[in-house]
């Protein structure tokens, strides 16, 4: 089911009840209002809820986690402050499972493994760098990866985040020698201007803040280059929940 909440495009709804709204975030739409002044996802979704349910006044919608502007895929919002508070606790307690698909340049160091770095964000430039452990302001970043497809130039990687640092996947892939396809910020030497970053939030899974039942949102990448270098079956098998 989808609702036309932005002129020229739909935003797919993956899950909705009285407490939660799960959607597929379109690429190149900021999660919340930023300096660009472009339409942002949070405002668009609030407006959609207001219109669909004929709600008076301001509509509450809580931002629980973020995706970088160029990244698309599964994302959850809270429709009540209670749900937002409980989901935020779930994220902090690392009971919120986040699985991504990424296309990177070259071949990963091994077919599967764990990447651990200390990352430091420069808010002035909105960039993140890997720094020695113990660096003031540095935060530990951990992810697991598994290579699920390769071509002569690219690798398709299944990534599970264990920490939620800013630009984490992008920086850690760069540090592994395999920057993301299309990443203008951390792979400018290997990517052409205008290319779309190949990073997608495939699965977001968490206990429902009220019912406690497991909720799983799933969104597969668009069938465009470079994602289309591999058949749909590869994605369906690699990202099926019973295979994780």
Query: 123, exposed or middle or buried, with CB in 10 Å at 0-12, 13-18, 19+?
Result: exposed
Q: Which entry of 10, 34, 48, 68 is annotated as an active-site residue?
A: 68
Tell me how far CA of residue 187 lies from CA of 7, 191, 200, in angstroms: 32, 6, 17
* Contacts of residue 216, Cβ cutoff 8 Å, sequence gap at least 6: 203, 204, 205, 241
* 140 catalytic per annotation: no
Q: Name every residue whose Cβ is closer than 8 Å to that of residue 175 and which is 6 or more positions away in sequence.
A: 115, 117, 130
Give me the long-range contacts of 34-39 (CB less than 8 A, separation at least 24): 34/69, 39/6
Distance CA 229, CA 42 (A): 32
Do the beta carbons of residue 102 and residue 157 sit within 8 Å?
A: yes
Cβ neighbours of residue 6 closer than 8 Å, sequence gap 6 or more: 26, 29, 39, 44
Asked whether 65 and 75 are in contact (CB, 8 A), the reply is yes
Q: Would you please indicate which residues are annotated as catalytic (active-site) residues?
A: 68
């Amino acid at each position: 089911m989808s609702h036309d909440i932005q002129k020229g495009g739909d935003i797919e709804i993956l899950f909705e009840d009285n407490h939660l709204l799960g959607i597929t975030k379109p690429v190149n739409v900021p999660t919340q209002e930023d300096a660009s002044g472009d339409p942002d996802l949070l405002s668009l979704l609030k407006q959609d809820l207001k219109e669909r349910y004929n709600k008076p006044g301001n509509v509450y919608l809580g931002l629980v986690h973020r995706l970088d502007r160029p990244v698309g895929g599964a994302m959850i919002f809270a429709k009540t402050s209670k749900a937002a508070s409980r989901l935020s606790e779930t994220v902090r307690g690392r009971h919120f499972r986040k699985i991504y698909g990424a296309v990177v340049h070259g071949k990963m160091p091994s077919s599967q493994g764990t990447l651990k770095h200390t990352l430091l964000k420069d808010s002035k430039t909105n960039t993140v760098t890997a720094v020695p452990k113990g660096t003031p302001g540095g935060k530990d970043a951990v992810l697991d990866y598994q290579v699920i497809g390769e071509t002569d130039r690219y690798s398709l990687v299944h990534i599970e985040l264990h920490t939620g640092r800013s630009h984490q996947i992008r920086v850690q892939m760069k540090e592994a020698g395999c920057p993301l396809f299309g990443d203008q910020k951390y792979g400018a030497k290997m990517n052409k201007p205008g290319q779309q970053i190949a990073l997608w939030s495939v699965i977001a899974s968490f206990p429902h803040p009220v019912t406690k039942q497991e909720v799983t949102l799933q969104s597969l990448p668009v069938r465009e280059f470079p994602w289309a270098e591999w058949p749909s079956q590869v994605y369906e098998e690699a990202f099926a929940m019973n295979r994780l």
